[in-house]
Amino acid sequence: MSDILWEPDATRIAQSRMDTFRRSINQRHGLNLDSYADLHQWSVELRAEFWQAIVDFFDIRFHTQPDAVLREGAKMPGAEWFPGATLNFAEHLLRRRDDAVAVVAVAENGQREQLTWAELAQQVAGFQASLQAVGVVSGDRVAACMPNTWQTLVAMLATTSLGAIWSCSSPDFGTHGVIDRFGQIEPKVLITCAGYRYAGNEIDQTSKLNEILEQLPTLQQLIVVPYARPHARAEDYHTLANVTLWDEFYVTGGAPFFIPVPFAHPLYVLYSSGTTGVPKCIIHGTGGVLLQHVKEHGLHVDLGSGDRLFYYTTCGWMMWNWLVSALAVGSAVVLYDGSPFHPDNERLLDLIDDERISVFGTSPKFLATLESSGIKPRESHDLSSLKTLLCTGSALAPRSYDFVYRDVKADVCLSSMSGGTDIVSCFVNGNPMSPVRRGEMMGKSLGMAVEVWNDDGQAVIGEKGELVCTRHFPAMPIGLWNDANGEKLRQSYFELFPGVWAQGDYAEELAHGAMLIHGRSDAVLNPGGVRIGTAEIYRQVEKVAQVLDSVVIGQQWQDDVRVVLFVRLQDGAALDEALQRQIREVIRGNTTPRHVPAKIIAVTDIPRTISGKIVELAVRNVVHGRPVKNTDALANPEALAQFRNCPELAD
């Protein structure tokens, strides 16, 4: 087909872990699965056999053996995976203990640190002992507001080695962004940096941290990594908790131990974007995350002991959790903290060559920025180590596929992926057996019964609809925080089609098995591929006295999404430059730079439902020239007219 941009040769396929896995399934079960499509179909139809095969292929070590692979009810949610089994997550990420490099941590100012596999285990052992000494036990929450450094990774591994629960945000979250998250889970320990760097600037976190500490009454231990504030002192922080600097908290040495926990024991708490209020606290289980991640890293990405994986991410995005799991398949990880474009747009390209990165992960926005800058990496860089380019966060534009194969590297597997914080993994993935077609994602992840459904709940091919998963999978969240009866979980994922997981993505399945993601089907914003909840912005705009009401949407713009804020002002107020600057400063100061609107536009009315809810989707549809399905539900449908063909949105 003319739209094929790259396909693996027979040697590359035969040497891939995916094909090795396929052959092992054929041998074990006496089958003849010839293609990836055959393998996927088998993995969905015989899920118990498939997930047991993953356990065996990746040597997942249970301390107590399971009674079964899967016990499930008639519909989701209602499954128990590997009942009776116990295991430890950190144990699988720390299985290698040799002197090869396991972790490389690079900062935007050029600082570089590395740990071998043996050194990583020693660091974890020391931190583990100190966490235990301050009373951390299984089920306790350890939170971190940290940059993407080796210290963050060590703290996560030490936490999960004890059966405690890890939860992380990044320093660019504003005060309320951190409190809205950590305030719900009541951590016993908080690990934070005293300051951080971004785009050449050093940002002191002291004042913000003291505001956060006031709202964390359960905190017993604060651990401060000086990082960009080398002269930070324990006495700078006002809290009843013990305060210790990182280097004084523990002594490196010894070997870590691992407390076995049930398969569904809480491992991580991740957070939704907070569209309709404070973010949901999504609880992910130990065994489900481990199995899903070794499957994705080992099979879909084809990572092994000779590889180095890099993904540009902060610790507040699920891709950090995904990235570090590559240790479980023996791959080294490269961590980067700072702006991807500092001191220039070639910063991360330099990193590929400097660190011999074999799998490089990024966002569509990064690739679009390289192209618009006129950079041609294949001419300026070696890139001989690079075998796979991963991309997620939003749909990758066809022109970016062209850019990769024209100007980056002709012999590279470009894998555009789609998943979410909700499952801390992927529904749609690449794989080393399939060709790359322009503008398309290769296909469905193994073991994931992914379909696209129309409004009537019927599976469709070649039509746009809701991305759903029709059968249980191990990485389904085990619950939401403070949701004892599971009602919030059901409302979040199983209300649209009862008994079926609805991801909230607007998608399309093509006849040859490839997938297209057309964006979010709800109101979540996605600038630069980072999910942002509208409620996070509204909570800040409400602080500006001149603003009476507002609605925020994501506008498709130049192969990305830009945040657009419409405001209804008090009588007599004018949206001059000073007011626009004030609104942006309030949002930036309490959230992140990505929350700041690209456009702020004054309107006379904000459309709402009869029950008083703002209708972001209706506004977004009008802005993009799409029909609004249900104006009968609006109290003031005439208000939509002013968003149509809005001249301020043309540039």
Helix (H) / strand (E) containing 490: helix 487-493
pLDDT exceeds cutoff 70 at 629: no
In this prediction, residue 248 carries a pLDDT of 97
- Min mean pLDDT across 49-58, 133-142, 170-179, 442-451 is at 170-179
DSSP string, 231-259: T--GGGS--SSEEEEHHHH----S-----
**Per-residue pLDDT at 2:** 56
Supply the DSSP string of 119-179, one letter for each residue. Answer: HHHHHHHHHHHHHHHTT--TT-EEEEE--SSHHHHHHHHHHHHTT-EEEEE-TTS-HHHHH
Look at residue 275 and tell me whether its pLDDT is greater than 80. Answer: no
Residues of the chain with CATH 3.40.50.12780: 4-88+265-520, 92-259
Measured CA to CA, the distance from residue 145 to residue 224 in angstroms comes to 10
Per the CB < 8 A criterion, the answer to whether 522 and 495 are in contact is no
CA distances from 118 to 39, 101, 161, 256, 260 (A): 37, 9, 16, 11, 22
Q: What is the pLDDT of residues 12-31, one digit of tens each?
A: 999 999 999 999 999 999 99
Per the structure block, which two tokens stand in for 479?
């619950």
Name residue 511's beta-bridge partners: none
Say whether pLDDT at 200 is over 80.
yes
DSSP state of 300: I
Tell me the range of 465-479, 498-512, 597-611 where mean pLDDT is highest: 465-479
Give the percent of the chain with pLDDT over 90. 80
pLDDT, mean of residues 225-236: 96
What residue ranges of the chain are covered by domains with CATH 3.30.300.30?
527-650
Q: What is the pLDDT of residues 68-108, one digit of tens each?
A: 999 999 889 999 999 999 999 999 999 999 999 999 999 99
Tens of pLDDT, residue by residue over 277-307, are 578 999 999 999 999 999 999 999 999 999 9
Q: Residue 631 has what pLDDT?
A: 65
In contact, 563 and 554? CB cutoff 8 Å: yes
Cβ burial 187-203 (10 Å sphere, 16+ → b, else e): bbbbbbbbbbbbeeeee
Class assignment of domain 527-650?
A: alpha beta
- pLDDT for residue 524: 67
Res 630: pLDDT: 57
Assign domain 92-259 to its CATH architecture. Answer: 3-Layer(aba) Sandwich (3.40)
pLDDT of residue 613: 62
123: Cβ contacts below 8 Å, ≥ 6 apart: 115, 150, 154, 252
Q: Residue 619: its pLDDT value, please? A: 92
Q: What pLDDT, on the 0 to 100 scale, is given for residue 543?
A: 84
Average pLDDT over residues 502-524: 84
List helix spans (H) across 243-304.
Answer: 246-249, 286-294
Average pLDDT, the chain: 93
User: CATH topology for 4-88+265-520?
Assistant: Rossmann fold (3.40.50)
Whole-number pLDDT of residue 520: 66
CA Rg value for the chain = 24
Q: How many residues does the chain have?
A: 651
In the chain, the percentage of residues whose pLDDT exceeds 70 is: 96
DSSP E strand boundaries for 290-345: 308-311, 332-337
Average pLDDT over residues 299-319: 95
Q: What angle do CA 466, 531, 621 make, to 5 degrees?
A: 55
Confidence of residue 531 (pLDDT cuts 50, 70, 90): low
At 187, the pLDDT band (50, 70, 90 cuts) reads: very high
Residue-wise pLDDT for 577-616, tens only, equals: 999 999 999 999 988 888 999 999 999 999 976 445 678 8
Among the ranges given (141-145, 337-341, 426-430, 617-621), the one the predictor scored with the smallest mean pLDDT = 617-621
Sheet-wide strand order for 425-429: 418-420, 425-429, 443-444
DSSP type of residue 628:
P
Catalogue the E-assigned strands of 381-456.
388-391, 413-416, 418-420, 425-429, 436-437, 443-444, 450-453
pLDDT (mean) for 484-492: 93
Side chain identity at residue 356, one-letter code? R
